[in-house]
Amino acid sequence: MSDDEFMMDDALDDDEQDYEFEFEDDEDMDDQNADVENKYYNAKVIKADNPRDALREFRDIVHQDQIQSEWGFKALKQQIKLLLSLGQYDDALNEYAHLVRCTEKSFLSFNYVEKSINTILDCASTVLEMPCDKIEAWYEVTKRTALARNTERLYTKVCIKHAYLWLSRHEWHRLSLVLGDLRANVLSDKQSDTQIHGTNVLELYSLEIQMYQQLHNASMVKKVFLEATNVTNAIPHPRTMGVIREFGGKMYMKEKDWEAAQVNFFQAFRNYDEAGSSQRIQVLKYLVLANMLMGSSINLFDSQETKPYKDDPDIVAMTALMDAYERRDVKDAERIISDHHYTFLQDTFVQQFIPDVIKELRVQYILNYIRPYRSVRLDRLASMLDIRIDEVEALLVMLILDGRIDGALDGMHHVLQIKHASTPNHSQDMQHALHHWSKQVHALALAISHKQVVAKRLVRTK
């Protein structure tokens, strides 16, 4: 962590001091506290230019105060950060263990303790030169203390932070061990019906899904995803749900369940958008991709959620492809993919489905083209699509077998004989609907007439 980041953390500490500490009215301590406070700020002034001198000053404060006030605790935190920045990792860990033992002091609120531990663990985690075993020790010290004091909330939060560290570093073995501990702790929680428990469970599932996705374990991704969608009593961070839904969408894409993928990508986009995450743009690309593959005629950018991003530079190539798809313009779609080659191929996930998009676009073109005909020559379709006759034949065989075309192939003459294209004939459907509606109106008129006759007879009888 840089000196600027250290200074920012210090400023946050100072801003929190009036709200996070629990003071006791003891006027006799005022002078002593004022003296320690002055020494603390004097040490901070020289911290950037003379870190070793500042370290000595902070050590003197800790020795003088014996962690009997907030200033001694703050000085110990500064001491740990300086030791980390100076590369004295073993000394920093020893002082951190001292700090963790001091967290039960009465003048420290639980929220402040939690924030302090998170801040220091963040500092240690960003020191790339520190070996993994040493970083592991920082988290283990914290978790042992949390378990010894029966503070489940702190233990769970530290485990989650620990897991995110190894996930970011692709330390899969270490991550699996941490997730094993977290799963055992979270899923055995006695308060399993609370929203806090449900929220922690979703954090666990989010981490597991990301790990299994990276390890290409599709069966476990699906298993954990389905478990996550069954959690109802929770208030997770929208980014957590964004991750779960995004990887669920990717799972369904690989299964070629385009509709389920589209639903999950849309939910992921909304979650990321709510969280203010830049990942929303990436997921929006996946959403456009799924929408095209499912053969939808709906323009995604007509919705209020997606409309603001239609002209985003990172997605303009995808929107152009979608526009070509809606026009069933195969050649323009292929040109767009060629012109924006880097955009489409830099994302390996998008790249693997581009052939499916072109295939679906050709299918939609064929279905539209053959609608008014009873027979179509395959060489004509091949010429229009700029592909070989055998490729056209393969597409037609697939459509016939799927029931999307009611027809047969004349292999001898390379002709498609069409009995009925599955694409609806709107004018014929309209005629059937009008005929059915007129019959219903006629039946209704007869019923009303019959009731009027019966009513008149009753009147006459009376």
Same domain, 309 and 406: no
The lowest-confidence range among 6-10, 214-218, 363-367 is 6-10
Same domain, 260 and 362: yes
Same domain, 187 and 95: no
Q: Per the domain annotation, does 433 fall within a domain?
A: no
Confidence of residue 168 (pLDDT cuts 50, 70, 90): very high
Q: Supply the pLDDT for residue 441.
A: 66
User: Phi/psi at 48 (nearest 5 deg)?
Assistant: -70, -40
Same domain, 377 and 349: no
* Residue 389 domain boundaries: 373-418
Q: Check whether 17 has a pLDDT greater than 80.
A: no
Pick the last residue of a domain from 236, 262, 292.
236
Q: Supply the pLDDT for residue 431.
A: 59
Q: Supply the pLDDT for residue 421.
A: 44
Same domain, 276 and 262: yes
Two tokens, residue 225: 């995803």
Q: Per the domain annotation, does 102 fall within a domain?
A: yes
Same domain, 294 and 365: yes
The lowest-confidence range among 132-136, 229-233, 407-411, 438-442 is 438-442
Q: Supply the pLDDT for residue 450.
A: 55
Q: How many domains does the chain have?
A: 4
| Higher per-residue confidence, 328 vs 243 | 243
Q: Check whether 442 has a pLDDT greater than 70.
A: no
Q: Check whether 296 has a pLDDT greater than 90.
A: no
Q: Check whether 422 has a pLDDT greater than 80.
A: no
Same domain, 278 and 329: yes
Same domain, 363 and 384: no
Same domain, 160 and 232: yes
Q: Per the domain annotation, does 136 fall within a domain?
A: no
CATH number at residue 108: 1.25.40.10
Q: Supply the pLDDT for residue 451.
A: 60
Average pLDDT, the chain: 85
* Residues 174, 409: Cα–Cα separation, whole Å: 58
3-state SS of 350-389 is HHCCHHHHHHHHHHHHHHHHHCCCCEEEHHHHHHHHCCCH
389 class by beta-carbon count within 10 Å (0-12 exposed, 13-18 middle, 19+ buried) = middle
Q: Supply the pLDDT for residue 246.
A: 97
Q: Supply the pLDDT for residue 278.
A: 93
Give every CB contact of residue 160 below 8 A, 6+ residues apart in sequence.
182, 200, 203, 204, 207
pLDDT digits (tens, 9 = 90+) for 31-82: 667 888 888 999 999 988 899 999 999 999 998 888 888 899 999 999 999 9
Same domain, 353 and 261: yes
Q: Per the domain annotation, does 29 fall within a domain?
A: no
Q: Supply the pLDDT for residue 15.
A: 44
Phi-psi region of 256 (alpha: psi -120 to 50; beta: other; left: phi over 0): left
Q: Per the domain annotation, does 38 fall within a domain?
A: yes
Q: Per the domain annotation, does 92 fall within a domain?
A: yes
Same domain, 360 and 410: no
Q: Per the domain annotation, does 1 fall within a domain?
A: no
| Higher per-residue confidence, 214 vs 447 | 214
Q: Per the domain annotation, does 144 fall within a domain?
A: no
> Cβ distance 142 to 148 under 8 Å?
no
Same domain, 362 and 393: no
